[in-house]
Structure 1
């Protein structure tokens, strides 16, 4: 799982596979520019009064495509800024002197002439024991003097034993207030490090994680350094789709946000400056997307963030429909909360103009996930009611030319990043609209969905989470039958029929995926399920366990810790 530094642009994992970090090549810039031109041309085509069709389907297409085009243009703008390199002279000089030149001083780290105290937090909440052990082992083995803390909100004695055996400190709080954010804030009341890193229980850090990130803090206004989320469990349709969906974001969009001081925290694989978090009152606890909100608050206070695209930790993408649905619901809820309760364009927000735009993109991004709902309904309107989004004078070839100029170039752009066309990503992007619609509704109504661990799974049927998708598949399949009968009777194949058949196939692929997953659920001996989550206890007692004396006491000790 872990990887070692190979060069600035490549890394090699434990199996010898080369993992490329991000570089902005001239070819990628060219593809991005062409894609941008395609986006603009398609939008001008839609807005042309001569191309306008019936009001209802045209309005649905216009609303959906306006959101998609707006996000695409803003993403292109950010991507084209991704050539910014955050490593300057100060970083390289700090890295050169970070570790002592004399072996007698061990793994002590020095920054700006002072010895560092670094805490490494591994947040745990019911994940598989083997997964936790793998991450804690890697965290303890990080280069550079540090103290590893296992923050166990799952209250597992097995996790406590692992922490003791591996030489990590173990913290168990018996109240679940604030979920993950509350867990970290509670640990900050005990740990006293000047900096602290956070890893989810399923993200295994590279040995050089601290060596590559800590030197950025030589600049005193840097609040946190974020690294990508990379995944090593790409063996299911869901995990591959979920991972590839984020490729462009982590390889290019986050890098581009460096130029605007708007790269935000993603909750894991990150290092914080303790004083910056203290200034804002701790990690944000009033949202399930505590990471984005914390970054937003820090930026409003004038702090700087840094994102580097080197893969310094490898974790697990959601493997099941349940895990994916809960993850996306949590993320989308956080975005919509910012949009509806903390609008970045409000004059009360102390953000730069660039930061306002970037956080607005973040807040509105999941609206793009609701757009497929509108587009899925357009072909049936023509098939059943003869309502067309475009004027009959517009030929299929004319429409296809502009349509491909937008969508085909987006696929080419994604192919450039991932290396091939990934149908799993297209499928998840099309079928996830019920999740995002639910997130928007929850924010509008103030409904609290509770906290769910991405990697924690259960034996529940996946069909419990995709009822709307199944109903849509049945509806689209029946509509396709009607459309084919109509076209055969008329002696011509229409665009609406082809469009509806494509949507039916995509929805059907997702339903097939659910059937396969349910088969595994019925035969649990064919896979290993993570430990079940336990109900939080109300007694706010804290247990701090000291690691067994398997090896000498760490060089740097936290203050005020009970033994």
Structure 2
């Protein structure tokens, strides 16, 4: 069951979850509840980060009823395509006809994936040019763009990664607006029609839409996708109220003048999207987020892809925290924007917190060090603990529609990724660019050595704890806690085992096929092969580009545009 963010039930659950967070925080900070210093310190550090993030998230979620579609938007939407009934896709804001460029960024993705996205981009309603920005320098991608009626740009150097690719394209394409899609995000035909009218407000720099995924057939893909559900359904919407919704790199459309004002897309980070949005907000521009799913893409399917994606995202967040702290008085941001960007910059610290909490039960099992005072019973602890965590799960259940154990597993076991990201930023190490959804023939265990070692350690600790409890004739909270952690890590290791078997099967050479039976060959006339379509490259005159879907279809058929 899902609920609307404006329903009374959702508001009630959100308020109860907030009260649960506050009650748990007060319980932990009560001096009379303090236990041994080391485990208590680990709990306080970890839970303080989680509590602060939870409270700020609740504040943002409760603001998510804000509706960015005002009267000027609806009026602009009504008059956007005045000649649509006559087959003319020309878009108009006010008295001005629009020129929109649509960029599909490519960097080594599977050719079938690229073709699906480019074909959908060309077919979107509203006059536009579709450009394939190929940093993978693939002749197959060039041929696909040529066949589908898109323009093609190939750089000589991949400097600046994706942001550099877009900036290079902006030196060629001259539209007043440009949309960006990753190669694995297939846009909806209505994308431009739903987003362009927001630019009737001359202060809007970009309009962002959610990332939604259609490849939820692996544990990793489901966990990665549902981890972002609350963010896209509620948090980003709440940020509209504070003019702090940020760009996520794809499924977004920009005003060219805004990007020109800040000197182009930010190229000094692999999280160019958040940095670009932050710079735009510092220059006084407005952002808009709508929760309508207007493009469907691919979540990371493998442990390798997930690890590289999260490492890149976390590195970008920590870069903002350590090199461009939003709370600094030098930042030209409103108070609300400072808070929202601080939440963004510190969010991945919550991914390191499970590491601290995993160590608490072994400290009691091996050294009899307890985080809480002996006068606190396990029942009391569990009541306050449930007030925090169980209500968070209930809130997520209302959003997603069910409990997703995959999300809980990934949230618990991803601490080595986020710790590495923080270390990379502190040490100034660069993080390479990787395609999120790409496949691999590498074993997943190459990327989860810390998780495997922790699983072995916790499994042995669970054996010791159970043996101790049997000897003492009582079950302790530390044992139950440690066994639960072991089970979560065990589920992740089991997922890696299944993935590893799939990788080995995919890498195995195909079995020799039996010789075919004799067949009778019947002569048939050869099919007529159409003449090749002329290459559509950035060297052609800009005015030759198709301005409508009808013209695009004519180009694809070899007729060209008039």
Q: Do the two structures share a fold, i.e. TM-score over 0.5? A: yes
1:306 is paired with a residue of what secondary structure? strand
Q: How much does 1:126 deviate?
A: 0.6
Q: Does 1:326 align with 2:308?
A: yes
> Contact 2:134–2:141 (CA<8 Å) still a contact in 1?
yes
Q: How much does 1:453 deviate?
A: 1.3
1:371-413 deviations in Å (ceiling 9; x for gaps):
0000000000000000000111001110010000000000001
Measure the CA separation in 2 of the matches of 1:417 and 1:547. 48
Match of 1:448 in 2: 430
Measure the CA separation in 1 of the matches of 2:157 and 2:539. 23
> Which residue, 132, 141, 163 being the options, matches 1:159?
141
Match of 1:51 in 2: 33
1:271 is paired with a residue of what secondary structure? strand
1:489 is paired with a residue of what secondary structure? helix
1:311-362 deviations in Å (ceiling 9; x for gaps):
0000000000000000000000000000000000111100000000000000
> Contact 2:3–2:399 (CA<8 Å) still a contact in 1?
no
1:545 is paired with a residue of what secondary structure? coil
1:506-545 deviations in Å (ceiling 9; x for gaps):
0000000000000011011799xxxxxxxxxxxxxxx972
Q: Does 1:374 align with 2:356?
A: yes
Q: Does 1:545 align with 2:537?
A: yes
Mark the CA change 1:415 to 1:20 in structure 2 (over 3 Å): closer, same or farther: closer
Match of 2:247 in 1: 265
Measure the CA separation in 1 of the matches of 2:20 and 2:2. 28
Mapping 1:442-521, distance limit 5 Å: 442-521=424-503
Measure the CA separation in 2 of the matches of 1:389 and 1:369. 21
TM-score by length of 1: 0.91
Mark the CA change 1:66 to 1:136 in structure 2 (over 3 Å): closer, same or farther: same
1:433-458 deviations in Å (ceiling 9; x for gaps):
00000000000000002111111232
Q: How much does 1:100 deviate?
A: 1.5
Match of 2:279 in 1: 297
> Contact 2:185–2:298 (CA<8 Å) still a contact in 1?
yes
Q: How much does 1:113 deviate?
A: 1.1
Q: Does 1:130 align with 2:117?
A: no
Match of 2:263 in 1: 281
> Which residue, 183, 188, 203 being the options, matches 1:206?
188
> Which residue, 328, 334, 353 being the options, matches 2:335?
353
Measure the CA separation in 1 of the matches of 2:377 and 2:480. 15
> Contact 2:208–2:252 (CA<8 Å) still a contact in 1?
yes
1:15-61 deviations in Å (ceiling 9; x for gaps):
xxxx9996432211110000000000000000111111000000000
Measure the CA separation in 2 of the matches of 1:433 and 1:170. 40
Runs of 4+ in 1 over 3 A off after TM superposition: 19-23, 101-105
> Contact 1:203–1:316 (CA<8 Å) still a contact in 2?
yes
Mark the CA change 1:290 to 1:553 in structure 2 (over 3 Å): closer, same or farther: closer
Match of 1:554 in 2: 546
Mark the CA change 1:21 to 1:312 in structure 2 (over 3 Å): closer, same or farther: farther
Match of 2:322 in 1: 340
Q: How much does 1:134 deviate?
A: 0.5
Measure the CA separation in 2 of the matches of 1:504 and 1:381. 15
Per mean C-alpha deviation after superposition, the further-off stretch among 480-489 and 21-30 is 21-30
Mark the CA change 1:22 to 1:307 in structure 2 (over 3 Å): closer, same or farther: farther
> Contact 1:21–1:311 (CA<8 Å) still a contact in 2?
no
2:351 is paired with a residue of what secondary structure? coil
1:383 is paired with a residue of what secondary structure? helix
Measure the CA separation in 1 of the matches of 2:155 and 2:3. 37
Measure the CA separation in 2 of the matches of 1:65 and 1:148. 48
Mark the CA change 1:526 to 1:144 in structure 2 (over 3 Å): closer, same or farther: farther
Match of 1:92 in 2: 74
1:209-234 deviations in Å (ceiling 9; x for gaps):
00000000000000000000000000
1:479-524 deviations in Å (ceiling 9; x for gaps):
0000011111111110000000000000000000000000011011
Q: How many residues align?
A: 522
Task: Report the RMSD for the aligned CA atoms in angstroms.
Answer: 1.9
1:305 is paired with a residue of what secondary structure? strand
> Contact 1:167–1:547 (CA<8 Å) still a contact in 2?
no
Measure the CA separation in 2 of the matches of 1:67 and 1:362. 13
Mark the CA change 1:446 to 1:553 in structure 2 (over 3 Å): closer, same or farther: closer
> Contact 1:140–1:168 (CA<8 Å) still a contact in 2?
yes
> Contact 1:222–1:306 (CA<8 Å) still a contact in 2?
yes
1:85 is paired with a residue of what secondary structure? coil
Measure the CA separation in 1 of the matches of 2:231 and 2:75. 29
Q: How much does 1:136 deviate?
A: 0.4
Structure whose alpha-carbon radius of gyration is higher: 2
2:359 is paired with a residue of what secondary structure? helix
1:98 is paired with a residue of what secondary structure? coil
Measure the CA separation in 2 of the matches of 1:398 and 1:236. 38
Measure the CA separation in 2 of the matches of 1:21 and 1:141. 33
Measure the CA separation in 1 of the matches of 2:2 and 2:175. 32
Mark the CA change 1:463 to 1:211 in structure 2 (over 3 Å): closer, same or farther: same
Mapping 1:55-454, distance limit 5 Å: 55-101=37-83, 103-104=85-86, 106-454=88-436
Mark the CA change 1:136 to 1:290 in structure 2 (over 3 Å): closer, same or farther: same
Mark the CA change 1:334 to 1:192 in structure 2 (over 3 Å): closer, same or farther: same
Q: How much does 1:258 deviate?
A: 0.1
Measure the CA separation in 2 of the matches of 1:331 and 1:499. 30
Measure the CA separation in 1 of the matches of 2:538 and 2:125. 21
2:329 is paired with a residue of what secondary structure? coil
> Contact 1:67–1:367 (CA<8 Å) still a contact in 2?
yes
